[in-house]
Amino acid sequence: MPDSTTSLPDRVGAFDALIIGAGFSGLYQLHCLRDRLGLSARVLEAGDGVGGTWYWNRYPGARCDSESHSYSYYFSEELLKEWEWSERYPEQPEILRYLNHVADRFDLRRDIRFGTRVTEARYDAAANRWHVSTEAGERFTAKFLITAVGCLSTANVPDIPGLDGFSGRWYHTGQWPREGVDFAGKRVGLIGTGSTGIQAAPVIAEAAAHLTVFQRTANYSVPARNAPLTPEFLRWAKDSSADLRRVMHSTTNGHPFTISERSALDATPEERRAAYEAAWEKGGLQFRAAFRDILTDKAANDTAAEFIRAKIREIVKDPETAAKLTNFDHPFAAKRPPIDTSYFEAFNRDNVSLVDVRASPIERITPRGVKTRDAEYGLDIIVFATGFDAMTGPLLKIDIRGRDGVPLREAWEAGPRTYLGLQVAGFPNLFTITGPGSPSVLCNMPVAIEQHVEWITGCIAHMQERGLERIEAEPDAADRWVEHVNEAADATLLPQASSSWYLGANVPGKPRVFMPYAGGMARYRGICDDVAAKGYEGFALSD
């Protein structure tokens, strides 16, 4: 279909499918719909380039926590063979280069419209079309609307009084300036000690005159043990792609390692220590895999927590700082567990200090810096590593209205309700890639994304073959799924981290609902395949 939209703002572009977002999800979805099904499809992307999360998160130290050989698309053998990662964990610029390579290799750019922020999407039942509007006033229509907006793309800047009057500069890590930030000679305050703050702190500490880390919740972290990849490893990863794919598809969280079948409680203290030592030395997210019950049994979890606490006390020389850093209020990995490169070591530097803002809360930002209950900290730069309005935020930021004009915001007033994380009852032909209720953030994201994109593509192909025009989740099926998502979460320790973004607890006023599906990626894939095999059970299909 010719592009009728490039030059004239108010012109309507009509497509078979519109995809919102050009990150990992949107790129692959475009490839599938356009090149495999032959549909006319257009990606609408707010940024000026591809990359999604990796386009916006350019903060110092930004790196993926999944290992590079698994943080890749696996749909194309040729792509797997030709791309060479340089390090165990890919850094943001390298991931961005990878996604640009993918966009070029599959000739995707011609169907992506950059600098185009979608503000509204309305379903017109009579025409069975989605009408999509952008910030610039452009309008598009399509039969299918697919959100590929990411789970962590709506920055959460806390509403701390006085920020407007701060005389220095401030930044959120998820909206980092392209030109970078010069920390030389500056007093920097870093608020937040999630994965992002933990990655950024040691890098900022090297450049800044002084770094003050404001910690509200002490966080566990395990060394990443990042290193350059050897030619032997790269060859092995390429030669083993079929095995790696199989392992990633068979595990709970889509990573290329398996979880031990042993309980931490069956091991002797010596065996346990040896297993944790080995996992600590190996580094990375697979620390969680040392025993099978770390995430399901509090007593087992306590053994991991105690091991990490002891390690931090060994690393951090000042006992008072070590005590603040290990004052955990949640089980290990009940919040997304960070992995780090010299995070705890950074607190041994003369130019780094830690402020416990749980003990002495931040009261306001003053023109000079941050004022807690007990002191004022003079700062030139404040970095907010305060996370995101996760999972629902990017969807609710768009005014999405389904059948009878019902806003998604209203349908989700009490928290997100989806069927399989893929569709919402009352919103026909809308698919939500890695939506709430799917494993997404509990999983190595490209694995979760490929599964969703392929399922959606299969579903649309099924409809095309049978002349079906409309698919919509049945309310009963969505209710049952929401119940199952809750049961799956309750079978783990995850809901015990009461301030976690998995629960929406980091955003004031957000309903507390456990959003991702904790039942495991492999099990989820089986459920989705089964639903499709049964003729899309739980979905109403019509012509």
State the residues that interact with ligand NA7 by CB under 6 A. Answer: 152, 158, 191-197, 214, 216-217, 336, 357, 362, 385-387, 441, 499, 501, 506
User: Under DSSP, is residue 238 helix (H, G, I), strand (E, B) or coil?
Assistant: helix
Distance separating alpha carbons of residues 411 and 149, to the nearest angstrom: 19
- Least distance to ligand NA7 from the beta carbon of 181, Å? 16
Distance separating alpha carbons of residues 148 and 463, to the nearest angstrom: 21
Q: Which of 37/155 has CB closer to ligand NA7?
A: 155
User: Under DSSP, is residue 131 helix (H, G, I), strand (E, B) or coil?
Assistant: strand
Q: Which of 429/500 has CB closer to ligand NA7?
A: 500
- Least distance to ligand NA7 from the beta carbon of 64, Å? 9
* Strand-strand pairing, 139-147 and 129-134: antiparallel
Q: Which of 263/342 has CB closer to ligand NA7?
A: 342
How many other C-beta atoms can be found within 10 angstroms of the C-beta atom of residue 211?
29
Percent of the chain that is helix, strand, coil (3-state, to 5): 35, 20, 45
User: Under DSSP, is residue 385 helix (H, G, I), strand (E, B) or coil?
Assistant: coil
- Least distance to ligand NA7 from the beta carbon of 360, Å? 11
- Least distance to ligand NA7 from the beta carbon of 214, Å? 6
In 3D space, the residue among 438, 430, 492, 434 whose CA is nearest the CA of residue 130 turns out to be: 430
Q: Which of 153/301 has CB closer to ligand NA7?
A: 153
Q: Which of 142/449 has CB closer to ligand NA7?
A: 449
Q: Which of 301/386 has CB closer to ligand NA7?
A: 386
- Least distance to ligand NA7 from the beta carbon of 216, Å? 4
β-bridge partners, 171: 383
44, 18 Cβ separation under 8 angstroms: yes
- Least distance to ligand NA7 from the beta carbon of 48, Å? 22
In 3D space, the residue among 446, 443, 397, 403 whose CA is nearest the CA of residue 426 turns out to be: 403
Q: Which of 198/477 has CB closer to ligand NA7?
A: 198
- Least distance to ligand NA7 from the beta carbon of 174, Å? 7
Q: Which residue is nearest to ligand NA7 (CB)?
A: 194
In 3D space, the residue among 320, 173, 178 whose CA is nearest the CA of residue 188 turns out to be: 173
403, 426 Cβ separation under 8 angstroms: yes
Burial of 50 (0-12, 13-18, 19+ CB in 10 A): buried
- Least distance to ligand NA7 from the beta carbon of 194, Å? 2
User: Under DSSP, is residue 540 helix (H, G, I), strand (E, B) or coil?
Assistant: strand
Please name the residues in contact with 42: beta carbons below 8 A apart, sequence gap of 6 or more: 5, 13, 15, 17, 18, 19, 111, 112, 113, 140, 142
What is the SS3 assignment for 282-340?
Answer: HCCHHHHHHCCCCCCCHHHHHHHHHHHHHHHHHHCCCHHHHHHHCCCCCCCCCCCCCEE
In 3D space, the residue among 484, 509, 531, 517 whose CA is nearest the CA of residue 159 turns out to be: 509
- Least distance to ligand NA7 from the beta carbon of 402, Å? 29
- Least distance to ligand NA7 from the beta carbon of 1, Å? 37
Compute the C-alpha angle 224/227/229, nearest 5°. Answer: 125
Compute the C-alpha angle 240/244/248, nearest 5°. Answer: 175
- Distances from the Cα of 391 to the Cα of 18, 144, 504, angstroms: 20, 21, 9
- Least distance to ligand NA7 from the beta carbon of 307, Å? 21
- Least distance to ligand NA7 from the beta carbon of 250, Å? 22
Q: Which of 272/336 has CB closer to ligand NA7?
A: 336
Q: Which of 194/421 has CB closer to ligand NA7?
A: 194
Q: Which of 108/370 has CB closer to ligand NA7?
A: 370
28, 449 Cβ separation under 8 angstroms: yes
Q: Which of 158/511 has CB closer to ligand NA7?
A: 158
Q: Which of 190/460 has CB closer to ligand NA7?
A: 190
Q: Which of 290/385 has CB closer to ligand NA7?
A: 385
Distance separating alpha carbons of residues 415 and 325, to the nearest angstrom: 33
- Least distance to ligand NA7 from the beta carbon of 255, Å? 13
